[in-house]
Amino acid sequence: MGTVAVLSRLPGTAVERLGRHHEVRYRDEDSAPPDAELPGLVEGADAVVATLGQRVDAALLDAAGPGLRVVANVAVGYDNVDLDACRQRGVTLTNTPGVLTDATADIAISLTLMVTRRLAEAERVVRSGQPWGWGMFQLLGSSVQGRTFGVLGPGAIGLATARRARAFGMDVLLHGRSEPDPDAVAELAAEVVGFEDLLARSDVLSVHTPLTAATRHLLDADALARMRPTAYLVNTARGPVVDETALVAALEAGRLAGAGLDVFEDEPAVHPGLLERDDVVLLPHVGSATLETRTAMADLAADNVVAVLDGRDPLTAVR
């Protein structure tokens, strides 16, 4: 029997399942623990279950001690984890891909429709209590049918989003670090293009790339200037892929039509230049926020911990 430190509250029965096999230290709080609490939570742990809000760095790993074998990150992205520090200490890192693909793709398409059809702005009109009535020119948005949907990062979530865009009658462009699945390209009747073409031709550019040193501020002032002034930017991946200051400047100058954002550069802070804009839709990082999806994420993290502590290969290790 090992010791598992679960640093934040999890949905479903994941904690109970872990408790059938191991001793569990469970912090039943939504937020990440204060730094002062971390050593006591993780000291002597064989496994740590962390959520996206928890930074897993060398200090945390060292506080756990040399017996730590696995960190299970309840997210598909792992930019909150110092992967090199894990490798140096022989700690396996796992994530939760696959189970959140559809939920996140749904949010990307929702943001697309919200910003192109001005739906958030329209809802605010109704909620304001100000008089309104049907009008031929009231809150006119833009149709997506026949427009071009660009996917930056055609992995599982990017391709799932592209399928939804295709169902809405959009043409699909794909660009990523590696060639996308050829069967998916054929299914979508998609065109694989270079980065410059993606920027220049997309009416909606949807971001699905992971956050790495190479992708941080990939969409900077120079990249945004290459987009059409009638184009929309949607980001459900990681906030720092987009330079928020450059995005605000582009919107203020009319060089972009709008943006739909579920993630931000310095969460939970949001650039003040975005907050009052009617051409921007802002969501608080809810891409995977369905009970079913979050429960599946917690279950997968628990399964990874049990597998590693039982001496088996993890289901979804980060390589």
- CATH number, domain of 150, equals 3.40.50.720
CA–CA gap between residue 309 and residue 319 (Å, rounded): 18
Is it the case that residue 266 has pLDDT exceeding 90? Answer: yes
Which position among 22, 69, 255, 285 bears the catalytic label? 285
Longest dimension (CA), the chain: 69
Cα distances (Å, whole numbers) of residue 65 to 61, 69, 169: 7, 10, 54
C-beta of residue 316 within 8 angstroms of C-beta of residue 60: no
Stretch 205-229: mean pLDDT: 97
The amino acid at 220: D
- Are 161 and 278 found together in one domain? yes
- Euclidean distance between CA atoms 84 and 233, whole angstroms: 32
Tell me the angle at which helices 101-116 and 291-309 cross, rounded to the nearest 10 degrees: 150
What's the pLDDT tens digit per position in 67-117? Answer: 999 999 999 999 999 999 999 999 999 999 999 999 999 999 999 999 999
Catalytic hit among 147, 208, 238, 255: 238
Q: Which strands sit side by side in the sheet containing 70-74, from one edge to the other?
A: 23-26, 3-6, 47-51, 70-74, 92-94
Q: Which one-letter DSSP state was computed for residue 290? A: S
As for how many domains the chain has, the answer is 2
Q: What is the mean pLDDT of the chain?
A: 97
Same-domain status, 95 and 231: no
Same domain for 219 and 295: no
What is the predicted pLDDT for the residue at 92?
98
| 175: annotated active-site residue | no
Shared-domain flag, residues 136 and 267: yes
Answer yes or no: do 257 and 129 share one domain: yes
Residue numbers of the domain that contains 87: 3-99+291-309
Q: What is the mean pLDDT of residues 251-268?
A: 97
Question: Which pTM value belongs to this model?
Answer: 0.95
Q: What is the pLDDT of residue 1?
A: 85
Angle made by CA atoms 240, 246, 249, in degrees to the nearest 5: 145
- Rounded Cα distance, 166 and 141, in Å: 19
Answer yes or no: 267 catalytic.
yes
218 and 84 in one domain? no
Give residue 202's pLDDT band: very low, low, confident or very high (50, 70, 90): very high
- 122 and 24 assigned to the same domain: no
Confidence of residue 19 (pLDDT cuts 50, 70, 90): very high
Residue 265 domain-assigned (yes or no): yes
CA–CA gap between residue 59 and residue 102 (Å, rounded)? 35
At 279, the pLDDT band (50, 70, 90 cuts) reads very high
Query: What is the layout of strands, in order, in the sheet containing 232-235?
Result: 191-192, 171-175, 148-152, 204-207, 232-235, 258-261, 280-282
Q: Is residue 217 among the annotated active site residues?
A: no
pLDDT of residue 39: 95
Q: Is residue 170 part of a domain?
A: yes
Does residue 18 lie within any of the structural domains?
yes
Alpha-carbon 229 to chain mean position: 25
**pLDDT band at 194; cut points 50, 70, 90:** very high
The active-site residue out of 117, 226, 267, 277 is: 267
State the CB neighbour count (10 A cutoff) for residue 56. Answer: 23
Q: Give the residues across from 93 on adjacent strands.
A: 71
Q: Are residues 296 and 263 in the same domain?
A: no
Q: Would you say 287 and 259 are in contact if contact means Cβ atoms under 8 Å apart?
A: no
